[in-house]
Structure 1
Amino acid sequence: MSHTPPALLTLQEKIKDCTAMVGVVGLGYLGLPFAVEKAKVGFRLLGIEQNPRRAEQAAILIREILLKLIENSLKSPS
């Protein structure tokens, strides 16, 4: 008989309902697009980037993309 640890069940549920926090280390060519896609579907993000300029640029870009998605969803007929 297999026993699934309670912490794993909790994590699976949080992934299923997009309430888990996604951590992305490095917001460059791979990390930034990954972070954007996770944000689009509703996950909270924690981005870790050692370059302060790149971190700020990534935060601005993610914010702009999400705001455009919100604007577009408000404009589209239900």
Structure 2
Amino acid sequence: MPDSYRTLSSLCNNKNGYDNHLIIEEKDISDHNVFIKCIEIHSAVSKGNISALDMEEEDLRRRWGEGEKEKKVKEK
């Protein structure tokens, strides 16, 4: 069993009454870093840690924005 699924299992055990529907959907993601980030965000949400979620969202938006800029440069 990959380490990411062990991490997933440990996070699911402390889900504060929420189901793990989001995590089940994320298992098919091929990028391991995105998968781990989704687990971290899901964990923060289930714990009610909104400030951590805001930081994660900002980080993902910044990364996505940088990726879009690189994509546009390559297209030109």
TM range (shorter): 0.3 to 0.5
Identify, as 1 or 2, the structure richer in strand: 1
TM-score normalised to structure 1 length: 0.40
As a proportion of its length, which structure holds more helix? 2
TM-score by length of 2: 0.40
Greater Rg by CA: 1
